[in-house]
Structures are given as structure tokens and as C-alpha cells.
Amino acid sequence: MIYFNNYVYFLICIIPALLVTGPFLSDLAVSIIAIIVAVSIIKKNNYFVFKNKYFIIFIVFNLFLIARSIFAYDPILSLKVTLFYFRFALFSIGIAYCFYLLNPKIIKRFYYCLIITFIIVVLDGYCQFIFGYNSLGQARFHEYRLSGFFGPELILGSYVSKIFPMVMISFLIVEENKKYFFLKIVLLILSSVLLVLLSGERAAFFSIVLFCFIFLVLTDLVKFKFKILILVVTTLSLITAITFDEKTKSRFLDQTIYAFYGGKNYTTQEEKDTALEEAKSNKQLVIFTHDTHSHYMSAYKMFLDNKLFGKGVKMFRKLCSKKEFEYDDWSCTSHPHNTYLQLLAETGILGFLLVFTIFILCLIELAKIFFKKIFNKKYSVDNVNICLYGFFVIYLWPVMPTGNFFNNWLSIILFFTSGFFIYRNNKINLNGS
């Protein structure tokens, strides 16, 4: 049995809040938890963890990343990411053990920390939308976007959409069968989806809508007529927001049309007046935006240059300006803004297949649940697992712009949820017997 102290329980509970502060404190918490888990495994001789097939697959993947980094264009830069990437596996094991040892005590504490953090972030976002300033006095950093506590990072929508599944999971475990359960579900969905829309983050909006669709279709928490009610109320709220808020309408309609026709995002009303018509006159469509189209084509060229192993983690930023990989003047950025194109460019087919297989397996599990519900009316679904599979599907969804797959902030969210999945499905023998 892995040993834990109160510091680990505390760190786990405050991780959702630490994520709001940025990557440093949250990654520090992850590293501390990983070190404690590693030391505990060694001191208690709990080496059975290392025999688990999921842990072995991850370590092999990590070793592959390290080996590729050694032979990358800039080995030092690449190794900064891959050398200690295994800490996320130890972090996930720590999450699983923590929930296993203190269930349901730790789940309730974590839920209250999570829901309080989530509500504060959501209310702060609405405050910035209504008054022009958030609770800290920060004005909008972008005319068409909300950022709340995240300031110039502009990731309010991303945070809400990625944390929302874990909020729903914790909510189902703690609040199910309690008073006003249905009303709380409605408020959670409506307030979260609407805020992500108002944040101006189109990919995040697609993600949270997709998750809510999976949740409403597959779970059996509420009756069908109430699901329809939630859908109608949410849809009407979104239509109202787009209709009556000019900035939201411009971001999701005008700018989207403009971007698909190869235009570059405008930021002021003056630019908007002429940009849309000019973009429509351009008959050549692009993938999402001109910028992302250029990133994707540059990543594709890197993949073709080394199909099996890729160019090495974090090498896109170093190679995108090279003549053989450059698509146009907009090719270069820190990463290609698509999970699978990044994996193909930086880790080749080997890295791509591992992650894409996880996505396909999650889709298969959701499909199994869907067909079982259709053909077996008495089939009892596991609502928490539906939310977990739903999270992995939206996180790994292939056809949309995404963040850097190896980004610490995003990895913490991914591996935290993975740790809960391990606990929930006993993917590691938690008692060591």
C-alpha cells in the first residue's frame, strides 16, 4: 500500500485552484506528489505498480520520447519536456491511490474545493462580460474575448470546458439523489456552456457542447423530457447571446466565415468593416484559419520528412522556419495547434498511434453504451464512466484546433482525470495483492 500524508491530500484538493494561477504552482504540486509516490513505492517495496500494463505502456512511450529527443535538432530543448515526463504517470497513480484510500472522504473534500473554484471562475467571467472588468479589476485583454483571472492568456473557455467534465463527475458522486439535483444540473450546464460561448473560444465551445451532448444522450440521470428541456433552454440562451451581443456574434459568425476564407483575425471594429467582404471574395477555403492552415501544412511536411519517429518533441518551433518545412510567412508558432498533427510531426506514426488508439477505444466504449441502451431497455449505465470517456473524447477530438499536447498545464488536467479513471475502473491493483 502506498503511503500518503495530509500534504498530498491537500495538494490534490487545491490543484483546480492552482491551475487558475498558471502552470508553475500546479506543476510544482504535481512534481511533489510524483516524488512522494516514487519514494513511497521504493520504501514500501510496492513494485507491483511497475508491473501494470498501462504503466509499462506509458514508460515505454516516455522512453521513446527521450530517445527521440536525444537525436533531435535541439536535444536540450526537447529533453526539458521528455526527460521527466514520467512524473505525470506517478501523479496519476497518486490520484488513484488517494481516492482509493480515502473514498468517499477525499472525494467530498475535492468536490467542494473543485466546485468552489469553478463557481468563482465562472462568476468572475460573467463579471468581466457584464461590467467590462473582472473581480480583480482586470479589463478585457481582447475586444472579442473574455479571460477572467487568466488575463492575457485568453484561456478562460479552455479551463471551463476541460474542468467541466470533472465537475460533473464529482457532482454525480456527491450530489446524486440529493435535493434540487435536476436544478443544479441545469444551472451547471447552462452557466458553463454560455460562459464558454461568451469567452469567444470556438474550440472550447465545441468541446463543451460535445461533452454535454454525450452526457444528455447516454446518461440516465434525468428523464427524456427533462433532457429535451435542458437542450431547449440552453439552445435558446445561446441564440439570444449571439443575437443580442454584437461581439459574440462577430466572433462566432463573422470572424469564423472570414477565417475559413483565408482571412486573418481582426481585432477592431474598423478592421471588421472591410475584412469580411474581402475574405469572401477569396475563393480558396482554408482549414479553420489562414494561420492554422499554415501550421498544419508545415507540420505535415515535417511528418513526411520522418514518418516513423517524427522530428522530436518541441521541435516544431525550431524547424517551422526552415525552407524545407515552411509553408508561408505564417507557418511558424510554438506548436501546430492540433494534437494529431503535432504528434505526427514530432513523434511520428509511433506516437500518433498510441494516442489515437486511446481516442478510438473511448469512442468504442461510448458506442457500446449507446447500443446497449437501445436494445436493452433495462441496461443500467455507469454515469461516471460515461463522463470519463466523454472527457477523453473531447480532449483527444481530432478535427479542431488544440493546445500543445505536451504543455504542462494541459497535461495536468489530462493526467488528473486519468488518475480518477484508474481509481474508478481499478486499472491498477490498488491494494497490491
The whole-angstrom separation of Cα 127 and Cα 122 is 9
In angstroms, the CA 65 to CA 84 distance is 11
371: left (phi over 0), alpha (psi -120 to 50) or beta: alpha
What does pTM read for this prediction? 0.90
pLDDT tens for the chain, residues 1 to 433: 455 567 788 899 999 999 999 999 999 999 999 998 888 888 877 776 777 778 888 999 999 999 999 999 999 999 999 999 999 999 998 888 888 776 667 788 899 999 999 999 999 999 999 999 999 999 998 888 999 999 999 999 999 999 999 999 999 988 777 778 888 899 999 999 999 999 999 999 999 999 999 999 998 887 788 888 888 988 898 899 888 888 888 888 877 777 776 555 555 556 555 655 655 565 566 777 778 888 999 999 999 999 999 999 999 999 999 989 998 888 899 999 999 999 999 999 999 999 999 999 999 999 999 998 888 766 778 899 999 999 999 999 999 999 999 999 999 999 999 999 988 887 555 555 4
User: How would DSSP label each residue in 39-64?
Assistant: HHHHHTT-GGGGG-HHHHHHHHHHHH
The number of CA neighbours under 13 Å toward the Cβ of 10 is 4
Rg (CA), the chain: 22
Using CA atoms, how far residue 68 sits from 24, 58, 90, 227, 345, in Å, is 26, 15, 22, 48, 12
Which residues, listed in sequence order, are joined to residue 139 by a DSSP beta bridge? 133
CA angle 316, 318, 324 (to 5 degrees): 80
CB 195 within 8 A of CB 167: no
Q: Distance between CA 65 and CA 63 in Å, rounded?
A: 5
Residue type at position 98: C
Residue linked to cell 479513471 = 421
* Gap between the Cα atoms of 344 and 302, Å rounded: 8
